Amino acid sequence: MTNELLILIAEAIAVYFLVLWAHSLRSRLGLAHFYALIGSLTAVMVWVTDAGVRVNIPGVSFMVGSTVFYTALLLGVFVVYVFDGPRATRIAISTIIGVSVMVPVVTLVLHWQLRLSQPDGVSYFPPQSLRIYSASVFAAFADLIFLAIAWEFLGQPKLNVRLWLRAFLTLLGVLWLDVVLFATGAFAGTPDYLKIMSGTFISRFVIGIFAFPFLYWYLAWQSGKNGMEIENRPVLAILKEVTRVRLELSLAQREIERRKEVERENVQLIESLQQAMQEVKVLRGFLPTCSYCKDIRDEEGKWHQLEAYIQRHSEAKFSHGICEKCLKEHFPNVDLGSGSGA
């Protein structure tokens, strides 16, 4: 094993761990630092790829840009989609694509500036092919979208795919899709097209085998941490707001039910208050009373005994006795010392 290959492996391990470690801090620091790292690695990947840095071993050629940095970006988008959902993933994808577009613009500006001031310095920032850059940006965007779709497709309960196989097939599928899209977009029609395609397929397979343990270890660690579960989303969740809309609809439905219950309680309370107010008005208003028998006349003109009317329109209850005055008047022979009886 050559020193160049050992250095390449060490670089890949370091960058993979850096991306996964940055993502693991999201519960304490959020995802801002993760997006910043993703953007920085994208810029480095583009410049390293433009420089053509590679490591050759018999039969296989490894591009440092794709082996180390592009694969690290895939791992980053992979884990942010699995654990943080489509919205966070769209931000990560936008960051990668945005930086990928900005790098050639900056390169052109530097090339133009150096051409004016230092003609010999143009070689430090060589202008790149628009076709290659366009193929690279399109392939990166398609790869990251395919990653989410493939992950959800393989995660359908009816397929019953194990987590390790699901992760490996998704990662390898993305790596091979990138080969097809980028090589076709950048080199189709050239004499070396098929050679580039076949050689890159082999190298990406080796990269997938090497990067898979990092991805699977992190998925297993995070899913087992604090009982965190890997959510099964719709296959096209990365393109649609299905997950967020479903959650919002669920919350809205619960809020509607809560408001309906409060409204029902308010209606009952209002009815009770209205009934109480009506009774209070009857008892507090003018009560037509017979001057002799003290019966009370209601709204319909009917007469009611005083006790019966009050009991019907209030919570009051009556019990009967005889006062001393009436006792003397109606029962003069009764001894007052015996008191009044019920």
Two tokens, residue 73: 């970006």
C-alpha–C-alpha distance, residues 47 and 111, integer Å: 14
Pick the closest to residue 64 from 43, 49, 47, 42 (CA basis).
49
What's the CATH fold of domain 3-239? Arp2/3 complex 21 kDa subunit ARPC3 (1.10.1760)
139 contacts 70 by C-beta, under 8 angstroms: no
CA distances from 89 to 85, 98, 133, 161 (A): 6, 14, 23, 23
Do residues 76 and 21 touch, judged by C-beta distance below 8 A? no
Whole-prediction pTM: 0.64
Q: What is the pLDDT along the chain (342 residues), one digit of tens a residue?
A: 578 888 888 999 999 999 999 999 988 889 999 999 999 999 888 888 777 777 877 767 778 888 889 899 999 999 998 888 888 888 998 999 999 888 878 877 777 777 777 666 545 555 566 777 788 888 888 888 888 888 888 888 888 888 899 999 999 999 999 888 888 887 888 887 888 788 788 888 888 899 999 999 998 888 877 566 777 776 676 666 544 545 555 666 677 777 778 888 888 888 887 776 665 555 666 778 887 787 888 878 888 887 777 777 776 777 777 887 887 777 777 765 544 444
SS3 at position 331: coil
Q: Which residues of 96-133 are buried (b: 16+ CB within 10 A; e: fewer)?
A: bbebbeebbeebeeebeebeeeeeeeeeebeebeeebb
Question: With contact defined as beta carbons under 8 Å apart, do 64 and 53 qualify?
Answer: yes
Residues ≥6 apart with Cβ < 8 Å to 293: none
CA distance 19 to 214: 11
Closest CA to 114 of 125, 104, 103: 125
Residue 278, Cβ neighbours under 10 Å: how many?
11
Residue 59 main-chain phi, psi, to 5 deg: 90, -15
* Dihedrals phi, psi of 296, to nearest 5 degrees: -115, 140
Cα of 229 vs its chain's centroid, Å: 14
Q: Tell me the domain boundaries of the chain.
A: 3-239, 241-285, 288-342
- For residue 284, CA distances in Å to 276, 280, 287, 294, 314 come to 12, 6, 8, 17, 11
Q: Which two tokens stand for residue 39?
A: 């953007």
Residue type present at position 41? L
Q: Do the bridges between strand 54-57 and strand 303-304 make them parallel or antiparallel, or are there none, so unpaired? A: unpaired
Reference 203, options 43, 39, 54; nearest CA is 54
